[in-house]
Amino acid sequence: MRKIKEFIIEKILLSSALITIAVTIGIILVLSIEAFYFFSEVSIIDFLTDTQWTPLFTNKHFGIMPLLSGTLLTTFIAIVFAVPVGLSISIYLSEYAPNSFRKTIKPLLELLAAVPTVVYGFFALMVVTPYLQGIIPGLSGFNALSAGLVMGVMIIPYISSLSEDALHAVPYSLREASYGMGSTRLQNSFRVIVPAASSGIIVSIILAISRAIGETMIVAIAAGQQPRLTFDPTVPVETITAYIVQVSLGDVQHDSLEYRTIFAAGITLFVFTFLLNTLSHKMRKKFREKYE
Amino acid sequence: MKKVLFITALAFTMIACGNKKGQDKDGTATGSITVDGSSTVYPVTEAVAEEFRAVKPGINVTIGVSGTGGGFQKFGRGETNISNASRPIKDEEAAYAKENNIDFVGLEVALDGLAVVINPENDWVKSFTVEELKMIWEPAAQGKIMRWNQINPAWPDEEIHLYGPGVASGTFDYFTEVIVGKSGSSRGDFTASEDDNVLVQGVAGDKFGLGFFGLAYFEENQDKLSLAAVDGGNGPVIPTKETVNDGTYSPLSRPLYIYVNSSSVRNPEVVEFVRYYLENAGELSTDVGYFPLTAEEYKAELKKFNDFVENNQ
């Protein structure tokens, strides 16, 4: 009887694991099949090098670069804002803050990640953009800068939480040794602890980048819906995710070339995130320091 | 262990019982009317639904904004009772509906003067000729016409930022047809959205912005936007009740429609709603910024609808 129970439980758990793998394979298959049909009509060279993206209009261009530049631009702004802030928060919480402070602040930080992204999007559009328009004249109503900044705020918890765990995991003996040698707190934090926790910190940054690349609502609402190849943060752009939302909610005929563009865009996004995940895995293995 | 099994069984039963009160395929569930389609017609339908709720509080009217084209797709599949449209139904869309055994009637409900809007700080444009608009919006302009002074050398040497409805929008179809010459023929490098509020936001926040949408959205945001006159060959004209009614605001005066599904008229609530719509559209369309048809025209539409209802019981 017990053997049967064990067997059943084992198989149930195995099937749960297999379901996740099956779903991932299913997603990859769907994307690849539709993308294959797409690339049989549009050459991949065109797709990668054309500088305009206008698949729904008369003058069709299928260059992914404008959408990609929109995604990368907003992600870059988000990371440039979030990494210093997130890292400083994590170092402060781990090295400097008294325990009581740390206990109250950490859950509050998690709250930043709990705000619905659509709320963030409207916050960017209604509050941040008008404010920035006062500082930067000529800032467009839709622009990559406010979307990027608000996205940065959203991903701070990812960086700070994981980095803080990584910093905390560095054994105390290292800290004691460095204090014993006469280092100041600052030297200790930045010269000893951060390098020791670097694998965890880098992984947290890469996770934040993946999150920012896949973010949809904030950029769909605040960054604009005009695909253009630019790195100017003050003009409307369109990201890959915003384009997918725009087309899938519209009236484009299923199984037409225009409809397949969302799969082509989706598979580009997927490739990027996949590469980032692999990179983070490799970095973690390479830089991890074992202390026991 | 027994407790766990009991709770699991209970949970399954409750989940299984959950889905009975959804909609039937053609939306004939009582108490609920589904509308989707044009963002231009949306303010009128919304105003009618609001007043209707005061008369008949039990009926829930949900109105989507997928654009005229998007609305017709759903209408053709039987997912909506009524479709808002800022242009007549296309042949392909009618055929699609026919394939799904959907018969329908089209009713004119109001008149729109499509507004061409600019930012209030734009002091160099007072009006556009149809040729200038064509030069800005035709497909050949994509990537080429990027600055104001390319259209008129007297205008500043600054980038034009264009905002317009997307390809699912009836306003887009109509504008391209009368300005460029062929429906759907437009440049692709502008901020496209089926949601006119996005366009309002875009032009209002951008000194060099230029956009077009239904007049109601301008009326609602008069403090944030400026209206440009359109010269259709007889001098610059601004859309007003007179110029739209007698056709001098050309070519951008157009009728607005709703389309009703034949199986939905078996539902007395839908019939009541549409009758209420036709009786009150004149007054309510003026409230939101459009222009009413004449009383005789509304009577004719009502008769058309009543005949359709009789034929489809």
pLDDT digits (tens, 9 = 90+) for A229-244: 989 898 889 999 999 9
| Residue A22: HSE in the Cβ half-sphere, 13 Å Cα cutoff | 6
- The alpha-carbon gap from A56 to the nearest alpha carbon of chain B, in Å, equals 7
pLDDT at A241: 94
Give, rounded to a whole angstrom, the gap between the first and last alpha carbons of chain A: 42
Give pLDDT tens digits for B259-288.
Answer: 998 888 888 889 999 999 999 998 998 888
Q: Is the pLDDT of residue B27 over 70?
A: no
Span B40-60, pLDDT tens digits: 999 999 999 999 988 888 888
Average pLDDT over residues B208-227: 90
pLDDT of residue A291: 57
Rounded CA-CA distance A15/A9 in Å is 10
Give how far B143 is from chain A: nearest CA, Å.
8
Element of type H or E holding B118: strand B115-118
Q: How far apart are CA A128 and CA A145, in angstroms?
A: 9
Under an 8 A CB cutoff, do B189 and A133 touch? no
Domain A65-287: CATH superfamily is MetI-like (1.10.3720.10)
Amino acid identity of residue B150, one-letter, is Q
φ, ψ of residue B141 in degrees (nearest 5): -80, -10
Instruction: Give pTM, 2 decimals.
Output: 0.79
Contact present, B250 and B130 (Cβ < 8 Å): no
Average pLDDT over residues A75-88: 94
| Inter-residue contact A86 to A152 (CB < 8 Å) | no
In the predicted model, what is the mean pLDDT of residues B72-97? Answer: 91
Chain A contact for B119, CB < 8 A? no
CB atoms within 10 A of CB A267: 20
The number of residues in chain A equals 292
Return d(Cα A140, Cα A131) in angstroms, integer: 12
List B residues 125-164 in contact with A (Cβ-Cβ < 8 A): 139-140, 142-143, 161
pLDDT tens, residue by residue, A132-181:
988 988 788 899 999 999 999 999 998 998 998 899 888 989 989 999 99
DSSP run (H or E) holding B105:
strand B104-113
Residue of B nearest to A245 (CA): B193
Note the maximum CA span of chain B.
85
pLDDT digits (tens, 9 = 90+) for B163-198: 999 888 888 989 998 998 888 888 888 888 888 888
Predicted local confidence at residue B260, as pLDDT: 93
Contacts of residue A242, defined as CB under 8 A and 6 or more positions apart, other chains included, come to A70, A216, A219, A220, A223, A225
Q: Which is nearest to B189 in space by CA: B145, B225, B230, B156? A: B145
pLDDT at site B42 = 92
- B204 to A138: CB separation less than 8 angstroms, yes or no: no
Residues 6+ apart with CB under 8 A from A275: none
The maximal CA–CA distance of chain A, rounded, in angstroms, is 76
pLDDT class for A79, splitting at 50, 70, 90? very high
The residues, ordered by sequence, that sit 6+ positions from B293 with a Cβ below 8 Å of its Cβ are B108, B109, B110, B111, B255, B281, B282, B301
Q: For the residues B133-153, what does the mean pLDDT come to?
A: 89
**A220 token code pair:** 């769909």
The residue with tokens 């064990």 is A6
Q: Does B64 touch chain A (CB under 8 A)?
A: no
Q: Is B67's CB within 8 Å of A133's CB?
A: no
Domain B27-111+256-311 shares a fold with domain B115-251: yes
Position A46 scores a pLDDT of: 86
CA of residue B231 relative to chain centroid, distance = 24
Q: Which CATH architecture has domain B115-251?
A: 3-Layer(aba) Sandwich (3.40)
Residues β-bridged to residue B257? B85, B108
Question: What proportion of chain B, given as a percentage, has pLDDT over 70?
Answer: 95
pLDDT for B164: 92
Residue B44 CA to residue B219 CA, distance in Å, equals 13
Evaluate if residue B203 carries a pLDDT over 80. yes
pLDDT tens per residue, range A186-230 = 888 888 999 888 888 988 999 999 999 999 999 999 998 889 898
What is the pLDDT at residue B26?
A: 43
* Cα A184 from Cα B270, distance rounded (Å): 77
Asked if A227's CB is within 8 angstroms of B142's CB, the reply is no
Structure tokens at A271: 């490739």
Q: What is the pLDDT of residue B198?
A: 87
Q: Does the distance separating the beta carbons of A57 and B188 come in below 8 Å?
A: yes
Q: What is the CATH number of domain B27-111+256-311?
A: 3.40.190.10
Nearest CA-CA partner of A91 in A182, A176, A201: A201
pLDDT at A10: 94
Report CB contact under 8 Å: A125, B201.
yes
Q: Do B184 and A52 touch (CB under 8 A)?
A: no
Nearest to B79 by CA among B89, B90, B66: B66
User: Which whole number is the average pLDDT over A64-85?
Assistant: 94
**pLDDT of res. A82:** 95
Domain chopping of chain B, boundaries: 27-111+256-311, 115-251
Q: Which of A69-78, A213-222, A236-245, A254-263 has the lowest mean pLDDT?
A: A254-263
Q: Region of A61 please: left (phi>0), alpha (psi -120 to 50) or beta.
A: beta
pLDDT value for B14: 76
3-class secondary structure per residue, A170-226: CCHHHHHHHHHCCCCHHHHHHHHHHHHCHHHHHHHHHHHHHHHHHCCHHHHHHCCCC
Mean local confidence (pLDDT), B109-125: 90
DSSP summary character for residue A62:
B
Least CB–CB distance from A250: residue in B168, B186, B203: B168
Query: Out of B70, B143, B206, whose CB is closest to A250?
Result: B70
- Hey, are the CB atoms on B192 and A54 less than 8 Å from each other? no
Apex B159 CA angle, B153 and B163, nearest 5: 115
